[in-house]
Amino acid sequence: MIQRNSGRKADELRPMSAKVGVVPNADGSAMFSFGDTVAIAAVYGPRQLHPQHMQDPSTGILRVNYDLLSFSVYDRKKPGPSRRSQEISKVTQWALEPVLDLKEFPNTVIDVQIYILQADAGTRTAGINAASLALAHAGIPMKNLVCSVALGKLDQDIVADLDKSEEDFEGGEGPTDFPIAKIGTGNDFSLLQLDGKIQPERVKEIISLADVTCKQIYEVQKKALKEAFQ
């Protein structure tokens, strides 16, 4: 078994923290962190979509914008959109849509703004967790919360919640990054991505680890929502 830099066990998540209602002017907002990765999400809407010709009388739309702030990483990141931020915005939208009933809000848009204040890998997953909480905080009817985490493989070992030093690991078979999102504590996934390589039979181990870790994330999210509404 590989020794993790942080001393964590293979299936151990970084310390998580979640808080709802961090952006007073938004309709809903939340912060979610995995260790040094900190995401905030703000939700605006549902509100009339402009320009009007983009409105769809049969449904509302979910519009996600993910942004990694310039000083969230060691090498300052050039401000503004990139291919990476576009990809992450899109997969985040797809990860969240299954829990929403957008047909309830024809002609409208729900805007979700995700900002990564500090990045130490796993930012898309922290962003999805924050966005899921912010949507709930905005009072938008949801079938469930969405719980997300980056699982993966370091050399031969299946591990949970890779940090940046682990994503950059160069020993043995190298790192595999496998971000997932699940609908609450059920069986359904709304995000499966793979960066690296993994044998098909080992994907089962990832799926089991997703079950265990998402339950822990769900509890942290539920607690944050309860605190906000008490």
**Residue 166 in the binding site for ligand CDP (CB under 6 A):** no
Residues of span 189-228 touching ligand CDP by CB under 6 A: none
Residue 4 near ligand CDP by CB under 6 A: no
77 binds ligand CDP (CB under 6 A): yes
User: Closest CB to ligand CDP among 27 and 167?
Assistant: 167
Residue range at the interface with ligand CDP (CB under 6 A); choices 20-28, 58-66, 119-127, 137-145: 119-127
CA distances 116 to 71, 97, 131, 190, 207, Å, are: 10, 21, 12, 21, 27
13 binds ligand CDP (CB under 6 A): no
Q: How big, in percent rounded to 5, are the helix, strand and coil portions of the chain?
A: 35, 30, 35
What stretches of the chain show up as alpha helix (H) in DSSP?
83-96, 123-137, 164-167, 200-229
Give the gyration radius of the chain's Cα atoms.
18
Q: By three-state DSSP, how is residue 62 classified?
A: strand
Is residue 102 at the binding interface for ligand CDP, with CB under 6 A as the rule?
no
Q: At what angle do helices 123-137 and 83-96 cross, to 10 degrees?
A: 50
Shortest spacing between CB 226 and ligand CDP, in angstroms: 27
Q: Site for ligand CDP (CB under 6 A): which residue of 150, 158, 191, 225?
A: 150
CA atoms within 13 A on the CB side of 9: 4
Binding piece for ligand CDP, criterion CB under 6 A, among 6-14, 48-56, 101-109, 122-130: 122-130
Q: Which residues here bind ligand CDP, judged by CB under 6 A?
A: 68, 73, 77, 84, 119-124, 150, 164, 167, 177, 179
